[in-house]
């Protein structure tokens, strides 16, 4: 019996390729980013909401006001910066490249990393 196509839902490990709006139209380079969906200390972020129910190969474009970046990506701000070097782009286009059920230890690790010492929720310990 074939596996049904996986869709993004809670506690899935999601792999993305991200291209910022700063790239030229003929530049097809993208940056990989991986995270566990739905483990943020303040709930699901607007970034995650846009990915919910999507499958491998789906593409989503985000136009993000600089003042809304932290709110849009929430607790994913620090991991996004650490994994990709991306910091507050004006727009990003993501392509979903993988969706698997996260292992328990991966969920615990992601939850621990999402803790924050400040009100921003990004886990940075304060700006």
Query: If you count them, how many residues does the chain have?
Result: 127
Q: For domain 12-113, which CATH number applies: 1.10.1060, 3.30.1490, 3.10.50, 1.10.3470?
A: 3.10.50
* pLDDT digits 0-9 by tens, 44-88: 999 999 999 999 999 999 999 989 999 999 999 999 999 988 888
pLDDT at 126 over 60: no
Which comes out higher in pLDDT, residue 23 or 79?
Answer: 79
For the chain, the domains span: 12-113
The answer to pTM > 0.85 is no
Q: In the predicted model, what is the mean pLDDT of residues 12-35?
A: 82
Q: In what order do the strands lie in the sheet with 59-63?
A: 31-36, 12-20, 91-101, 59-63
Collect all residues with Cβ–Cβ distance below 8 Å to 73 and sequence separation of at least 6: 45, 47, 80, 122
């Amino acid at each position: 019996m074939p596996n049904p196509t996986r869709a993004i839902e809670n506690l899935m490990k999601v792999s993305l390729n991200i291209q910022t709006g700063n790239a030229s139209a003929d530049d097809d380079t993208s940056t990989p980013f991986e995270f566990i969906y739905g483990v943020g200390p303040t709930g699901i972020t607007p970034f995650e909401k846009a990915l919910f129910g999507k499958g491998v190969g789906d593409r989503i474009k985000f136009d993000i006001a600089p003042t809304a970046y932290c709110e849009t990506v929430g607790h994913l701000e620090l991991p996004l910066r650490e994994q990709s070097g991306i910091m507050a782009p004006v727009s990003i286009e993501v392509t979903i490249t993988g969706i698997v059920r996260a292992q328990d230890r991966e969920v615990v690790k992601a939850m621990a990393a999402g803790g924050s010492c400040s009100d921003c929720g990004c886990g940075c310990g304060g700006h």
